[in-house]
Protein backbone atom coordinates (compact mmCIF):
# COMPACT_ATOMS: atom_id res chain seq x y z
CA UNK A 1 0.00 0.00 0.00
CA UNK A 2 1.43 3.34 -1.00
CA UNK A 3 1.93 6.06 1.54
CA UNK A 4 -0.99 7.90 3.09
CA UNK A 5 -0.60 11.32 4.66
CA UNK A 6 -3.31 12.83 6.86
CA UNK A 7 -3.06 16.57 7.45
CA UNK A 8 -4.93 17.58 10.59
CA UNK A 9 -5.39 20.60 12.86
CA UNK A 10 -4.50 20.96 16.55
CA UNK A 11 -5.67 17.84 18.36
CA UNK A 12 -7.12 19.86 21.23
CA UNK A 13 -9.51 21.74 18.95
CA UNK A 14 -9.89 20.09 15.57
CA UNK A 15 -13.06 18.05 15.85
CA UNK A 16 -13.17 17.47 12.09
CA UNK A 17 -9.63 16.07 12.07
CA UNK A 18 -10.41 13.64 14.88
CA UNK A 19 -12.91 11.72 12.75
CA UNK A 20 -10.67 10.27 10.00
CA UNK A 21 -7.66 10.12 12.34
CA UNK A 22 -9.42 7.90 14.86
CA UNK A 23 -10.93 5.49 12.38
CA UNK A 24 -7.58 5.06 10.60
CA UNK A 25 -5.90 4.37 13.94
CA UNK A 26 -8.69 2.08 15.11
CA UNK A 27 -8.41 0.03 11.89
CA UNK A 28 -4.61 -0.06 12.04
CA UNK A 29 -4.14 1.84 8.78
CA UNK A 30 -0.60 3.22 8.60
CA UNK A 31 -0.27 6.89 7.76
CA UNK A 32 2.02 9.85 8.17
CA UNK A 33 0.51 12.69 10.16
CA UNK A 34 1.07 16.39 9.60
CA UNK A 35 -0.45 18.52 12.36
CA UNK A 36 -1.02 22.25 11.74
CA UNK A 37 -1.77 24.45 14.78
CA UNK A 38 -5.11 26.23 14.20
CA UNK A 39 -5.81 29.99 14.40
CA UNK A 40 -2.16 31.05 14.25
CA UNK A 41 -0.81 33.71 11.88
CA UNK A 42 0.56 31.04 9.49
CA UNK A 43 -2.34 28.58 9.74
CA UNK A 44 -4.16 29.53 6.54
CA UNK A 45 -1.02 29.48 4.39
CA UNK A 46 0.10 26.19 5.88
CA UNK A 47 -3.26 24.53 5.26
CA UNK A 48 -3.44 25.90 1.70
CA UNK A 49 -0.19 24.07 0.90
CA UNK A 50 -2.20 20.85 1.15
CA UNK A 51 -5.91 21.61 0.94
CA UNK A 52 -7.73 23.61 -1.78
CA UNK A 53 -10.60 24.26 0.66
CA UNK A 54 -8.26 25.90 3.18
CA UNK A 55 -9.52 23.46 5.80
CA UNK A 56 -8.29 20.35 7.52
CA UNK A 57 -8.47 17.38 7.52
CA UNK A 58 -7.06 16.51 4.11
CA UNK A 59 -5.81 13.11 3.00
CA UNK A 60 -2.98 12.74 0.50
CA UNK A 61 -2.74 9.38 -1.25
CA UNK A 62 -0.26 9.08 -4.13
CA UNK A 63 -0.92 12.17 -6.23
CA UNK A 64 -4.54 12.43 -5.05
CA UNK A 65 -5.93 14.67 -2.38
CA UNK A 66 -9.23 14.14 -0.63
CA UNK A 67 -10.56 16.86 1.62
CA UNK A 68 -13.54 16.93 3.98
CA UNK A 69 -13.80 14.40 6.80
CA UNK A 70 -16.73 12.46 5.36
CA UNK A 71 -15.25 12.24 1.86
CA UNK A 72 -11.97 11.01 3.40
CA UNK A 73 -13.72 8.23 5.34
CA UNK A 74 -15.75 7.13 2.31
CA UNK A 75 -12.61 7.16 0.14
CA UNK A 76 -10.73 5.04 2.67
CA UNK A 77 -13.67 2.62 2.77
CA UNK A 78 -13.06 1.99 -0.95
CA UNK A 79 -9.29 1.69 -0.59
CA UNK A 80 -9.50 -0.69 2.40
CA UNK A 81 -12.73 -2.66 1.79
CA UNK A 82 -11.64 -5.42 4.17
CA UNK A 83 -12.30 -3.14 7.17
CA UNK A 84 -15.73 -2.71 8.78
CA UNK A 85 -16.50 0.91 7.77
CA UNK A 86 -20.28 0.52 7.66
CA UNK A 87 -22.85 -1.96 9.00
CA UNK A 88 -23.23 -4.95 6.68
CA UNK A 89 -27.04 -4.78 6.60
CA UNK A 90 -28.08 -2.29 3.90
CA UNK A 91 -30.92 -0.75 5.95
CA UNK A 92 -28.62 -0.31 8.95
CA UNK A 93 -25.97 1.08 6.59
CA UNK A 94 -28.42 3.67 5.26
CA UNK A 95 -29.21 4.73 8.84
CA UNK A 96 -25.48 4.88 9.68
CA UNK A 97 -24.95 7.12 6.64
CA UNK A 98 -27.96 9.26 7.59
CA UNK A 99 -26.74 9.94 11.14
CA UNK A 100 -23.18 10.59 9.92
CA UNK A 101 -24.53 13.10 7.39
CA UNK A 102 -26.79 14.65 10.05
CA UNK A 103 -23.73 15.09 12.27
CA UNK A 104 -21.68 16.42 9.38
CA UNK A 105 -24.17 19.09 8.37
CA UNK A 106 -26.06 19.87 11.56
CA UNK A 107 -25.91 20.60 15.29
CA UNK A 108 -24.72 24.18 14.69
CA UNK A 109 -25.80 25.36 18.14
CA UNK A 110 -23.77 22.68 19.88
CA UNK A 111 -20.76 23.35 17.66
CA UNK A 112 -20.81 27.09 18.27
CA UNK A 113 -21.51 27.07 21.99
CA UNK A 114 -19.56 24.00 23.06
CA UNK A 115 -16.48 23.87 20.83
CA UNK A 116 -14.22 20.84 21.24
CA UNK A 117 -11.51 21.50 23.81
CA UNK A 118 -10.04 18.21 25.00
CA UNK A 119 -7.85 19.83 27.67
CA UNK A 120 -10.56 21.90 29.36
CA UNK A 121 -13.18 21.23 32.00
CA UNK A 122 -16.04 23.74 31.54
CA UNK A 123 -19.09 22.24 33.28
CA UNK A 124 -22.36 23.84 32.23
CA UNK A 125 -20.74 26.45 30.00
CA UNK A 126 -22.47 27.11 26.68
CA UNK A 127 -25.70 25.36 27.60
CA UNK A 128 -28.65 27.19 26.01
CA UNK A 129 -32.12 25.92 25.10
CA UNK A 130 -31.02 25.52 21.48
CA UNK A 131 -27.91 23.59 22.54
CA UNK A 132 -30.04 21.33 24.75
CA UNK A 133 -32.23 20.61 21.71
CA UNK A 134 -29.13 19.46 19.79
CA UNK A 135 -28.04 17.37 22.79
CA UNK A 136 -31.50 15.76 23.05
CA UNK A 137 -31.42 14.81 19.38
CA UNK A 138 -27.94 13.26 19.73
CA UNK A 139 -29.03 11.29 22.79
CA UNK A 140 -32.07 9.97 20.94
CA UNK A 141 -29.83 8.89 18.02
CA UNK A 142 -27.45 7.09 20.38
CA UNK A 143 -30.29 5.40 22.28
CA UNK A 144 -32.00 4.22 19.11
CA UNK A 145 -28.77 2.92 17.56
CA UNK A 146 -27.54 1.19 20.69
CA UNK A 147 -30.92 -0.42 21.38
CA UNK A 148 -31.89 -1.40 17.82
CA UNK A 149 -28.58 -2.00 16.03
CA UNK A 150 -25.88 -2.22 18.68
CA UNK A 151 -26.55 -5.55 20.34
CA UNK A 152 -23.47 -7.28 18.92
CA UNK A 153 -20.97 -4.83 20.40
CA UNK A 154 -20.45 -1.62 22.33
CA UNK A 155 -20.68 0.84 19.45
CA UNK A 156 -23.63 2.49 17.66
CA UNK A 157 -23.99 -0.41 15.23
CA UNK A 158 -22.25 -3.03 17.37
CA UNK A 159 -18.79 -2.88 15.82
CA UNK A 160 -16.93 0.40 15.32
CA UNK A 161 -17.96 2.19 12.09
CA UNK A 162 -17.68 5.61 10.44
CA UNK A 163 -20.82 6.63 12.37
CA UNK A 164 -18.90 6.27 15.67
CA UNK A 165 -16.00 8.29 14.30
CA UNK A 166 -18.45 11.07 13.41
CA UNK A 167 -19.94 11.25 16.90
CA UNK A 168 -16.63 11.04 18.81
CA UNK A 169 -16.06 14.82 18.90
CA UNK A 170 -19.51 15.08 20.54
CA UNK A 171 -18.34 12.61 23.17
CA UNK A 172 -15.40 14.93 23.88
CA UNK A 173 -17.74 17.94 24.12
CA UNK A 174 -20.06 16.11 26.51
CA UNK A 175 -17.07 15.34 28.76
CA UNK A 176 -15.63 18.87 28.67
CA UNK A 177 -18.99 20.57 29.37
CA UNK A 178 -20.18 17.81 31.76
CA UNK A 179 -23.44 17.25 29.88
CA UNK A 180 -25.97 15.21 31.88
CA UNK A 181 -26.67 11.88 30.18
CA UNK A 182 -28.88 8.83 30.54
CA UNK A 183 -27.28 5.42 31.21
CA UNK A 184 -27.19 4.28 27.58
CA UNK A 185 -25.44 7.47 26.45
CA UNK A 186 -23.07 7.52 29.43
CA UNK A 187 -22.06 3.91 28.71
CA UNK A 188 -21.40 4.86 25.09
CA UNK A 189 -19.26 7.81 26.23
CA UNK A 190 -17.32 5.48 28.54
CA UNK A 191 -16.78 3.00 25.70
CA UNK A 192 -15.34 5.70 23.46
CA UNK A 193 -13.13 7.12 26.23
CA UNK A 194 -11.75 3.65 26.96
CA UNK A 195 -10.42 3.25 23.41
CA UNK A 196 -6.64 3.27 23.41
CA UNK A 197 -6.61 5.48 20.30
CA UNK A 198 -8.91 7.99 22.00
CA UNK A 199 -6.53 8.18 24.96
CA UNK A 200 -3.65 8.64 22.51
CA UNK A 201 -5.44 11.64 20.92
CA UNK A 202 -6.30 13.19 24.31
CA UNK A 203 -2.74 12.77 25.60
CA UNK A 204 -1.37 14.49 22.50
CA UNK A 205 -3.96 17.29 22.82
CA UNK A 206 -2.87 17.92 26.41
CA UNK A 207 0.74 18.59 25.48
CA UNK A 208 0.05 20.89 22.52
CA UNK A 209 1.31 24.41 23.09
CA UNK A 210 -1.18 26.41 21.02
CA UNK A 211 -4.12 28.06 22.76
CA UNK A 212 -7.20 29.56 21.11
CA UNK A 213 -8.46 32.08 23.72
CA UNK A 214 -12.11 32.14 22.59
N1 LIG B 1 -16.73 20.05 6.57
C2 LIG B 1 -15.30 20.07 6.76
C3 LIG B 1 -14.99 21.06 7.86
C4 LIG B 1 -13.49 21.22 8.09
C5 LIG B 1 -13.18 22.38 9.03
O6 LIG B 1 -14.00 23.30 9.25
N7 LIG B 1 -11.94 22.36 9.56
C8 LIG B 1 -11.47 23.45 10.41
C9 LIG B 1 -10.68 22.90 11.60
S10 LIG B 1 -11.59 21.79 12.63
C11 LIG B 1 -10.46 24.27 9.64
O12 LIG B 1 -9.69 23.75 8.87
N13 LIG B 1 -10.46 25.59 9.84
C14 LIG B 1 -9.52 26.43 9.16
C15 LIG B 1 -8.82 27.38 10.07
O16 LIG B 1 -9.02 27.29 11.28
O17 LIG B 1 -8.05 28.19 9.55
C18 LIG B 1 -14.85 18.63 7.05
O19 LIG B 1 -15.71 17.79 7.34
O20 LIG B 1 -13.66 18.30 6.94
- The model's pTM is 0.96
Instruction: Check if 68 has its Cβ closer than 6 Å to any atom of ligand 1.
Output: yes
- Structural domain includes residue 211: no
Task: Say yes or no to pLDDT of 145 above 80.
Answer: yes
Cα(19)–Cα(165) distance, integer angstroms? 5
Helix (H) or strand (E) holding 64: strand 64-67
Report whether pLDDT(1) > 60: no
Average pLDDT over residues 25-36: 98
pLDDT digit string, tens, across residues 111-140: 999 999 999 999 999 999 999 999 999 999
Mean pLDDT of 11-16: 98
For residue 204, tell me if it sits in a domain: no
Mean pLDDT in residue range 13-41: 97
In a domain, 94, yes or no: yes
Residue 132 CA to ligand 1 center (angstroms) comes to: 24
The reply to whether ligand 1 has any atom less than 6 angstroms from the CB of 44 is yes
Please report whether residue 168 resides in a domain. yes
Specify the CATH number for the domain of residue 103: 1.20.1050.10
Predicted confidence at residue 209, as pLDDT, reads: 85
Within a domain: residue 118?
A: yes
Looking at 61, 83, 105, which one is the last position of a domain?
Answer: 83
Q: What percent of the chain is modeled with pLDDT above 70? A: 99
What is the number of domains present in the chain? 2
Look up the domain containing 162 and give its range: 90-199
pLDDT of residue 128: 97
Residue 176: name the closest of 134, 126, 210, 214 by CA. 126
Confidence check: pLDDT of 214 > 90 = no
- The pLDDT value recorded for residue 2 is 59
In this prediction, residue 63 carries a pLDDT of 84
Q: In this model, does residue 102 exceed pLDDT 80?
A: yes
Distance in angstroms between the alpha carbons of the first and the last residue of the chain: 41
**CA-43 nearest atom, ligand 1:** 17
15 vs 56: CA distance, rounded Å: 10
Cα pseudo-dihedral 155, 159, 162, 163, rounded to 10: -30
Mean of the per-residue pLDDT values of the chain: 96
pLDDT band at 213 (very low <50, low <70, confident <90, very high): confident
Q: Which of 83, 107, 122 is the last residue of a domain?
A: 83
Amino acid sequence: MSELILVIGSKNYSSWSLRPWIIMKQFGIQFQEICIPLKQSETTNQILQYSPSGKVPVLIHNSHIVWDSLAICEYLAEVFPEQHWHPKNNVHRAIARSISAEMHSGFQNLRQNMPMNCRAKLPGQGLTLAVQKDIDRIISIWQECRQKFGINGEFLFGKFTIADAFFIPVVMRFVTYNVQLDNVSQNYVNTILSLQVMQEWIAAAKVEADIIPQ
